[in-house]
Structure 1
Amino acid sequence: MALNFHQLHIFHTVAERGSFSAAAQSLHMTQPAVTMQVQSLEEYFGTKLLQRSTKRIELTEAGRALMPYAKSSIELIRDTDQAMSTFTKQLKGKLQLGSSLTIGEYILPRLLGPFGQEYPHISISMKVMNTAQIMEDILNHQLNFGLIEAPVNHPDMYMEAVMNDELVLVVHKDHPLAEVSETTLADALQYTFVLREQGSGTRLVMEDELRNKGFDPSAMKIVMELGSTGAVKSAVEAGLGISILSTSSVKHEMALGLIKTVKLTDARFHRQFYSIYLKSALLPISAVTFLTFLRERDLKQWL
């Protein structure tokens, strides 16, 4: 019997998930099949790798020694898929991803077209939802990976920065600030704001920069908090207040002359967008190809 990657992957997943049943669910296998593959691996090495108890699986000394090699093999296969995807144009498959609101509504629609032209045989299924829902679906294996607007920490998740974004001050075309090309943060904070809801990626970036500049976000004159960027833009267009939004989300309204952007001379709202996926899962080649597309292309030409 030869050592194979499939068995190492199953062993690593059992160790990471803490039980055969959880690993079986994660790998979409039956529990007896998972047990059999681990037993075959133990027979190959001639030693026990896992201690089975009623509560949780624990690694033996041999199992602990094997874990870094199993992890390295998973990473090697993932890197191999990524490297070869550059040369494989006739890929087929379904790309299933989750995206937070700003990315899903304003960024990805402009990127999926060019991606689809380059890889026409990959079908795309995208869910637009908040970060917590994306993580839940990834953990439940309903999605391959997600794209989110703010970093998160989860022991089972791998996170990587894949895109850059900038937020800008946006005002109604007849607002007093629309008459100037730039202003200070202190001057802007004298006006009423319409903002995304607490906890949104856009809101977090804005509040972090305010604190960095010595301003208390809770002291802002907030007249309305809304659950989507589209709703915030509509409120700004109606003259209900000014806001801070992603440049990618306001291009259409700016082109129509409905709103204007004003440069802040003493503040910059930069952020990164992140991909997240399970550490224990192998991404399908369609997902690896899409992430490679985001990393290696000059996305500004489409955004």
Structure 2
Amino acid sequence: MEQLLRVLIAVAERQNFSRAAEDLHMTQPAVSQYIKSLEQALGCKLLERNNKYVRLNKAGEIVYYHAKEILGMYERMQNLVHDLMYTPSGHLTIGASYTYGEYVLPHVIARLRELYPRITPSITIHNSRVISAQVANRQLDVGIVESEHVGEKMNVEPFADDQMYVIVSSDHRLARQSEVRVEQLADETWIVREEGSGTREAAEKLFLSLQIEPSKRMEFGSTQVIKESVEAGLGISLLSDWAIRKEQKLKTLHILPVAGTPLTRKFSIVTQSDSFRTKALELFLELLRENACNSSGLVIK
């Protein structure tokens, strides 16, 4: 059954029998036979096919979703047994929100690879809501998120503080003011992240605390794009200190003296509350906590 599920996943993700066969190092007829065997075992068709594409039907979507979960649990079982007998190794699936994933996590992964080269991490970067959902669905072993809204039956461990500042281009007129009034902020164009992002959540908290509701907004799904947009003078934003350290050194971004800032939020580790933890995961969590303790010395090159 394990191989049947792996073949279905490959076909579903590649949407093509030939490309799936290449990925699996199999022949196309063999892939077709595996799909046929799985459909016979389940008593229903799983795919819609024509000359242009191969797609999951409703039954196929259900099987695909659970196949990912089943194979993830199978792999974790193998890793747990392996940990009892050998040095730390195996695959580790890690998810992180954009701020932590893009500006901090690479340093932690580099340290992990240096100390434990037999552990092979796989990284997913998305907003906090998506990462939490993927941990809940067992698609990820661990997530690092900044949102306070995490699903039930999840183990949530706050482990690091993050300071957030209102930023403008160094050439912006507000950058030359020693004091910035709230009404000035309300009149500016705010560049914010998408719904589901922890950074967006923090911005909404700031608006609430300042009692403003900016009418001019631009929404982007990337912190990097927001920084570039602010540098270009398109508006102002609220971003993490970790995300803007390089720009501060280069003096391309300026922090505004705004009441109620810096806004402090927590990064949290999210894991399944009912799961055994592999040695690889435990070692990774130790490195996360260690990095948080030393975060003031983190160098962004």
1:194 and 1:230 mapped to 2: Cα distance? 12
TM-score (ref. length: structure 2): 0.65
Partner of 2:262: 268
Pick one of 193, 199, 202 that aligns with 1:202: 199
Partner of 2:298: 302
Mapped contact 1:139–1:278 kept (Cα < 8 A):
yes
1:122 and 1:182 mapped to 2: Cα distance? 50
Partner of 2:220: 226
Pick one of 158, 161, 164 that aligns with 2:158: 161
1:27 and 1:95 mapped to 2: Cα distance? 10
Q: Residue type matched to 2:221 in 1?
A: G
* Residues paired across the two proteins, number: 222
1:112 and 1:95 mapped to 2: Cα distance? 11
The equivalences for 1:248-267 within 5 A come to 248-267=242-261
2:192 and 2:295 mapped to 1: Cα distance? 27
Pick one of 120, 132, 139 that aligns with 1:123: 120
Partner of 1:188: 185
Partner of 1:172: 169
Identity over aligned pairs, percent: 30
1:122 and 1:140 mapped to 2: Cα distance? 22
Mapped contact 2:88–2:118 kept (Cα < 8 A):
yes
Q: Residue type matched to 1:97 in 2?
A: I
The 1:226–1:27 alpha-carbon spacing in structure 2 relative to 1, beyond 3 Å, is: closer
2:111 and 2:71 mapped to 1: Cα distance? 32
TM-score (ref. length: structure 1): 0.64
- Aligned-residue CA RMSD in angstroms? 2.9
The 1:135–1:181 alpha-carbon spacing in structure 2 relative to 1, beyond 3 Å, is: same
The 1:224–1:283 alpha-carbon spacing in structure 2 relative to 1, beyond 3 Å, is: same
1:277 and 1:299 mapped to 2: Cα distance? 22
Mapped contact 1:184–1:266 kept (Cα < 8 A):
no
**What are the Cα deviations for residues 21-56 of structure 1, in whole angstroms up to 9, with x where unaligned?**
99x949846xxxxxxxxxxxxxxxxxxxxxxxxxxx
Q: Which runs of 5+ in 1 are unaligned?
A: 1-20, 30-76, 82-87
Partner of 1:14: none
Moved over 6 A (4+): none
The equivalences for 1:44-83 within 5 A come to none
Which structure is richer in relative contact order (CA contacts within 8 A, separation 6 or more)? Answer: 1
Deviation, 1:287, is 1.4
Q: Which runs of 5+ in 2 are unaligned?
A: 1-65, 75-79
The 1:26–1:251 alpha-carbon spacing in structure 2 relative to 1, beyond 3 Å, is: same
The 1:184–1:247 alpha-carbon spacing in structure 2 relative to 1, beyond 3 Å, is: farther
Deviation, 1:97, is 0.8
